[in-house]
Structure 1
């Protein structure tokens, strides 16, 4: 009996020993795996951190680049819009950008301005092409700087002819005649002592014609779209200019009526003038605005062609060309 118990005891001890060894061996293996994993994590973690930082920096740089490109695109868009708004009235340009086309529109009453340079053909014959371009550029930059103070739209310049209109594309009631009248007197005041740059002592004189009436306006063309005016009102305004006199504002009867209604202007009946295609029409001289023009732009015109006194808005490089 004692031998049997001893054998069982030995057998149990062997089983327990074997089991303990197996468990110790497994625990050692698990510990070894854990140590290897820990070492691997310690090795890989800095690499992961560096990669994450690099990705973060790349994303930050990309975000900054996108923001910079967005700002650049916005600036270029504003430049393009400014150029477009110089070619077309802003409301028309926005409509053209949005819909791709602008239907023609009728206006019941607008006032059209035409002017040209007296003796321009003779001046051109005495000048080189570059001198003519320089002369017109300087003169019409002066005009452009002044008309911004009035509710008018510059339609175009063709050679020495300068055309503006008030009352479109944004209607302004009966104010269009007074806006154009004030602008006309302002322009005459601005060139009283204005000399042709390359002809010393040659003062510039212009003829101005105004007419009021209905017209149709619309965008013409697709490659170089222009906002054009159509109607008899434009033709009569052109005739007012061509039949006028130097340094005078020649106005039609319709413009005279509207200015008389507005009040504050001194006008003088000229005579009935024979207008091609219209017959005899009463016309008037616009002499002055009572009390002066409050919005007139004060510029020292006698010094325009002194290189040291040129106004900032003028192109010195263009002026200084031979």
Structure 2
């Protein structure tokens, strides 16, 4: 049995996950929020060169509040905002579920991941209620940002129900500090210990955001004790999963953007008239191609020395020492 098969059988996501020998072993997760975006994604994958595209997951994330609605962050101010967020995301999950079922043949259908918004992990009971709402709307799995021990308790409670649950480590936009994580030997070891705790709490998969590339690569090496991983702004790993965003593939970021997709062609102000399934399909076709041939993403800046990078790379992250 190959090592990648062992990893897949270990995970509750095994029926959905694919690993291809060529052109890349990278599995893809795509953030899409609306039915017309899913339609554009499905059209992109009709290209002959993407016939074997390893799309595994579509996620409805709370980043919708920033991309489509123009809010400054995913943080929510009070109970009224939190209920608005849950109702909004639940509606989007139902819309995306319908679009996936309509536009993807069964053998290529990705799993649908719903992102618990800020406040939904105030307690295990709150997380269970949010997870139930998302699954009733059609989600196959839910994701929990892990900014503290209480969030881990929520993930464990969700996993105990038998529902597929993923954890999110590194930069956590709802409550985290915007910085690179695991960019020292000590920081990498902390990331590895956190990843083991997430796995042991019952998570079927892991998303890491803004972690150092050596940490990303180490966590995603084939290992029977590990869980599947998708990375965001964390460089590239041969055996890892890469997260892409439909909006970012088409719409230029407001500031900077060196590490954002190079495929964006319109400004946010143009989205009401130009952000269409045809343009989405065209831009995603290019971005997925760049991802599979290794041109995207770029490796992030690091303060690690070559010796420190080698030490992190030699670590078995899923085994406690």
TM above 0.5, one fold? no
Structure with the larger helix share: 1
Relative contact order (C-alpha < 8 Å, sep 6+): which is higher? 2
Structure with the larger strand share: 1
- Shorter chain as denominator, the TM-score bin is under 0.3
